Amino acid sequence: MLDELCFEPATELAALLRSKAVSAEELMRAHLGRIERLNPKVNAIVTLDAERALEGARAADRALARGETPGPLHGLPVAHKDLLPTKGMRTTFGSPIYRDFVPDTDAILAERYRSAGAILIGKTNTPEFGAGSQTFNAVFGATRNPWDLARTCGGSSGGAAVALACGMLPIADGSDLGGSLRNPASFCNVVGLRPSPGRVPNWPAMNAFFPLSVLGPMGRTVQDVALQMQVIAGPDARAPLADPEPGSCFAQPLARDFTGVRVAWSHDLCGLPVDPAVTAALEPGLRVLEALGCRVEEAEPDLRIADEVFQVLRAWHLEGSYGSLLDSRRDQLKDTVVWNIEAGRRLSGQDVARAEIRRTELYHRVRTFMEQYEFLAAPVAQVPPFDVDRPWVTEIDGQPMLTYLDWMKSCYRTSATGLPALSIPCGFTPDGLPVGLQLVARSRDDFGLLQLAHAFQEHSGLWKRRAPLVD
């Protein structure tokens, strides 16, 4: 049944397409059928060009029939996050200001997916300018979680995570400043990788030297994430922070023996409040790590200064990126974006300099810690998926959250370290809501992180569990 193909790993689909066991057009029609049936319920894909997608699929089939060598993503449908510029396709950034904006150029990421043979079908939903880990905006509304339609899918790459969980896409991309690849992956039972800064080149970008915001892949399996990294990682002269190591490094075998590998486990990342349902859902994950042969020990680096580092540099970045819109279109910006830009305007040069100095201190503190442990395991999110009508979490386990950022400290503290981090499906709450485990690796060890996540995935098998909506 073609519809069942939509839940096959992208690596398997790519092999089927190359062998001509299934055509790109057949696969595209299967995915478009799922979009037609399920997207009205979840609102994950907000721009769709089915005719363009079908023509791309037919062209892919013709190219294969001519004997052309297929790319690694040949024939796979993809919809890019609506923050990513796509030539000739509407890109709104989740903002009414850009409701009808159509770029005249592709981002590097879109170029690389297309060059590898992926077929663009549309765009996935995101909060306004990607600000916040709850996917809703004034242009398209909220994206709902397929595990419970009354709950949020997280964000800001929420549309991508939901599309994967629903079998509407086999591969997806997103961005991550304070958790935007990891949080929705955790909430939707998929995999989201925050690569090391520069590992995936970012262009166009207003602040090209800003290291906290990164681009990365999402997938239903770690293998699918590694497949995408082969395509999207690697240098580009337009991106000054781009890592010189080619994406081919992610083509190595993911299998590895983890016997004796030391893993630090932190249940609260230095005193953060965590919902007891999350803590309980993560406990079986520790047993999985131990079953792999890892030496799991309760330990954590002191990450408390990461709060100042992240909040100052984020506010400075948002003011620089969107301050002109505050001056000219304030009435069209959501309140949390206004607040964050204004926080940036209140910063002094001394504030920013202090944050940069403390970021260096944080880096060396964590580097020293990670000399003892190869990996750190921790919660992705401090809460399970919450009511879709709540803009952000205001209280966790009795502790008030004062801003729309505070409930995601478990993610943004690791963002501030510059280390690669990933969310892997780990468990479920008593209500059946997904909970992801955050795995963090040493500096630049993105591939080692994927290896541990792959071993975890193969032992747990949780990626195979589908949301009630899609069965």
Active-site residue list: 81, 156, 180
Helices (H), 116-250: 158-165, 182-188, 222-232
Alpha-carbon separation of residue 191 from 105, 144, 157, 161, 218 (angstroms): 29, 18, 12, 8, 6
Centroid of chain to Cα 333: 24
Measuring CA to CA, how many Å separate 29 from each of 50, 136, 171?
9, 28, 16
* Rg of the chain over all Cα atoms, to the nearest angstrom: 21
Alpha-carbon distance 222 to 190, whole Å?
A: 9
**What's phi and psi for 425, nearest 5 deg?**
-55, 130
Count CB-CB contacts under 10 A for residue 426: 28
Peptide bond into 328 cis (omega under 30): no
d(CA 243, CA 225): 18
What backbone torsions phi and psi does residue 362 show, to the nearest 5 degrees?
Answer: -65, -45
How far apart CA 121 and CA 465 sit, in angstroms, is: 26
Cα–Cα dist 285/31, whole Å: 32
